[in-house]
């Protein structure tokens, strides 16, 4: 016991990191043990059961690249179609992102920034929202954060005294290798990686212009690595162009002004749950406290930003921050700075996604996608608030009162962040573990069987973009009951054979007699009634079920056709 206490005293930073990491991972793991899935997760599960080749073929018709699905396929090969295993796989990505705070951020930015980075990552409302989803976001965040770390290292190396000779070749390989992995995981991740590479290119070109040692080698290395990435991405280019066309023709994301703008500007804090709390739509045991914490946190970020800028400008004016790097062009040095790189990744991704939305006449702006660059947002927060501690340590005792105010500001920000992350996780867990989530599954499992035990025909027609939201998860819960849907969309082959794709579901249903089931998404049986009219059937019974998990309303109808 005494030796443990002694170790903690000698390694306070390491001990604090361990506490932050374990506490954060515990909070994130709370939502991993639900068997619930929603449409997007059901797609991940379904596609992961296919072969590597089929994942490429079918995934090319979806809206995301396929690297994550290949990774998830490996989990499937080991653990089978286990929702828990797939959720824990996402949680591993979250853990790795948090560990970067100690293994990399601490070494590059200092103990305080490293620990704060891990804290902001693991307690982020958006991070928690996606940490155990059976989706690619936690792993995309790892890939893009590695790109940011190593491109920043290369930039600093080029602007240092040693120039190219001070840069390890492995940094180039890691930076461009993970940029390629980012591009094959999610398009927002690709944009984030591109932003970092663009900054790196500016620094490399500047280094060549001012004759930094080995700058020519750096430029050749950049060009070769970039060409290698382009060549490695060529097999996916055709699929990407097809996906862009599909998105422009039939995508579902809508842009809401000013809500969407707020969600982007206030990432990674403003989630759907937090948004409900702010607008007083959702009740919580802490009453108005989370809403207050949200605005207090935003104020703390603004104040910390002002402190950071003032401190930086004062240091430059007083020649306190003069270094080999600051002898160079201030814009280039600033562009590759501690705060600039993560901010550039975060807001370049936001701006480019907005530009692409305008170009294809369809919004692709969804705050959830920014989870791919969660690390950049959290690093920016960590750098800002670590500066408060740096100022506190460097100022004289004459400013004790002012310093206490800065420490208090950090404490208030940390407490506010904990409140928001905690409330967000409570909301998630309440929805995930609500018993009523299973009511629709249990009902469907009962009615889909005839009295003799045989399975009834099941249909989902109407607006297939809506109906598949209910049909897809049910096809995973009760795979023995085949659901017939009318579509030629290759992407939905991920659900075969539990979902059968046909050209004309009406003609298919007209070959059946007796009782059948209709699965619909929404609060009424409008589609079921229309379907029954077209095939000459009657609706015997319709039941609507509210699923708290991901806020879905499903309607199951029993039809009779003579």
pLDDT at position 364 is 83
pLDDT at position 477 is 95
Lowest mean pLDDT among 13-17, 159-163, 260-264, 273-277: 159-163
Domain boundary among 397, 432, 467: 432
pLDDT at position 393 is 53
**Stretch (H or E) spanning 552:** strand 552-561
Q: Which residues of 366-390 are buried (b: 16+ CB within 10 A; e: fewer)?
A: bbbbbbbbbbbbbbbbbbbbbbbbe
Question: At 338, is the pLDDT very low, low, confident or very high (cuts 50, 70, 90)?
Answer: confident
Mean pLDDT of 383-409: 66
Higher pLDDT, 491 or 245: 491
pLDDT at position 398 is 43
Question: At 328, is the pLDDT very low, low, confident or very high (cuts 50, 70, 90)?
Answer: low
Mean pLDDT of 39-47: 96
CB 349 within 8 A of CB 195: yes
pLDDT at position 10 is 62
Whether 385 is in a domain gets the answer yes
Whether 19 is in a domain gets the answer no
pLDDT digits (tens, 9 = 90+) for 129-145: 999 999 999 999 999 99
pLDDT at position 392 is 60
Domain boundary among 411, 432, 453: 432
pLDDT at position 441 is 96
Give yes or no for a cis peptide into 130 (omega within 30° of 0): no
pLDDT at position 324 is 47
Same domain, 62 and 107: yes
Same domain, 389 and 486: no
How many secondary structure helices (H) and strands (E) does the chain include?
24, 6
pLDDT at position 235 is 94
H helix intervals, 318-436: 330-335, 340-360, 374-394, 400-432
What's the domain range around 312? 38-248+257-432
Question: At 320, is the pLDDT very low, low, confident or very high (cuts 50, 70, 90)?
Answer: very low
Whether 283 is in a domain gets the answer yes
Lowest mean pLDDT among 176-180, 194-198, 271-275, 431-435: 271-275
pLDDT of 252 higher than 80: no
Same domain, 261 and 403: yes
Mean pLDDT across the chain: 88
Whether 273 is in a domain gets the answer yes
Question: At 401, is the pLDDT very low, low, confident or very high (cuts 50, 70, 90)?
Answer: very low
pLDDT at position 313 is 75
pLDDT of 303 higher than 80: yes
Mean pLDDT of 500-508: 92
CB 184 within 8 A of CB 67: yes
pLDDT of 541 higher than 90: yes
**Could you tell me which residues come within 8 angstroms of residue 383 by beta carbon, excluding any fewer than 6 positions away?**
109, 113, 308, 338, 339, 342
pLDDT at position 326 is 46
Could you give the percent of the chain with pLDDT greater than 90? 66
Q: Please give the tally of structural domains in the chain.
A: 2
pTM above 0.75, yes or no: yes
Domain boundary among 372, 399, 432: 432
Mean pLDDT of 87-114: 97
Whether 330 is in a domain gets the answer yes
Same domain, 428 and 493: no
Query: What angle in degrees, to the nearest 10, is found between the helix axes of 83-100 and 137-158?
Result: 20
The CATH number that applies at residue 476 is: 3.40.50
pLDDT at position 255 is 74
CA distance 166 to 159: 10
Question: At 396, is the pLDDT very low, low, confident or very high (cuts 50, 70, 90)?
Answer: very low
pLDDT at position 463 is 78
**Which of 434, 412, 449, 137 minimizes the C-alpha distance to 271?**
137
pLDDT of 395 higher than 60: no
pLDDT at position 383 is 95
């Amino acid at each position: 016991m005494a030796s443990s206490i002694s170790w903690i005293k000698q390694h306070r930073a390491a001990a604090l990191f361990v506490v932050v990491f374990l506490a954060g991972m515990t909070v994130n793991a709370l939502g991993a043990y639900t068997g619930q899935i929603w449409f997007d997760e059901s797609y991940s599960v379904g596609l992961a059961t296919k072969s590597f080749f089929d994942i490429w073929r079918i995934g090319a018709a979806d809206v995301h690249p396929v690297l994550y699905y290949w990774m998830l396929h490996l989990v499937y090969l080991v653990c089978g179609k286990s929702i828990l295993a797939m959720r824990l796989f996402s949680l591993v990505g979250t853990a790795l992102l948090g560990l970067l705070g100690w293994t990399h951020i601490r070494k590059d930015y200092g103990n305080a920034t490293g620990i704060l980075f891990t804290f902001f990552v693991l307690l982020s409302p958006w991070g928690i929202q996606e940490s155990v989803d059976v989706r690619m976001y936690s792993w995309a965040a790892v890939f893009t954060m590695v790109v940011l770390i190593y491109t920043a290292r290369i930039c600093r190396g080029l602007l240092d005294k040693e120039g190219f000779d001070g840069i390890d070749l492995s940094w180039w390989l890691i930076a461009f290798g993970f940029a390629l992995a980012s591009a094959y995981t999610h398009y927002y991740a690709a944009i984030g990686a591109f932003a970092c590479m663009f900054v790196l290119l500016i620094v490399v070109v500047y280094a060549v212009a001012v004759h930094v040692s080995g700058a020519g080698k750096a430029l050749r290395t950049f060009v070769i690595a970039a060409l290698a990435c382009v060549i490695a991405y060529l097999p996916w280019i055709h699929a990407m162009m097809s996906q862009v066309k599909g998105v422009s023709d039939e995508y579902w994301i809508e842009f809401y002004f000013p809500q969407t703008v707020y969600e982007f500007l206030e990432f990674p804090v403003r989630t759907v749950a937090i948004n409900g709390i702010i607008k007083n739509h959702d009740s919580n045991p802490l009453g108005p406290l989370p809403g207050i914490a949200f605005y207090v946190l935003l104020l703390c970020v603004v104040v910390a930003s002002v402190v950071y800028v003032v401190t930086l400008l004062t240091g430059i004016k007083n020649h306190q921050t003069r270094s080999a790097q600051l002898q160079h062009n201030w814009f280039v040095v600033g562009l590759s700075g501690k705060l600039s790189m993560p901010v550039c990744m975060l807001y370049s991704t936001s701006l480019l996604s907005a530009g692409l939305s305008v170009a294809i006449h369809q919004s692709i702006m969804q705050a959830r996608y920014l989870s791919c660059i969660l690390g950049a947002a959290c690093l920016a927060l960590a750098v800002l608030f670590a500066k408060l501690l740096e100022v506190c340590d460097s100022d004289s005792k004459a400013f004790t009162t002012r310093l206490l105010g800065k420490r208090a500001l950090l404490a208030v920000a940390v407490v506010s962040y904990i409140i928001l992350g905690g409330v967000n996780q409570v909301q998630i867990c309440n929805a995930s573990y609500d018993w009523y989530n299973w009511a629709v599954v249990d009902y469907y499992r009962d009615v889909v069987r005839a009295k003799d035990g045989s399975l009834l025909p099941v249909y989902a027609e109407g607006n297939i973009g809506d109906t598949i939201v209910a049909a897809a998860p049910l096809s995973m819960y009760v795979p023995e009951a085949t659901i017939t849907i009318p579509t030629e969309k290759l992407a939905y082959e991920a659900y075969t054979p539990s979902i059968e794709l046909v050209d004309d579901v009406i003609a298919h249903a007209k070959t059946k007699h007796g009782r059948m089931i209709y699965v619909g998404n929404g609060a009424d049986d409008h589609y079921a009634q229309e379907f029954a009219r077209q095939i000459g059937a009657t609706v015997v019974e319709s039941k609507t079920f509210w699923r708290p998990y991901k806020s879905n309303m499903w309607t199951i109808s029993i039809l009779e056709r003579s």
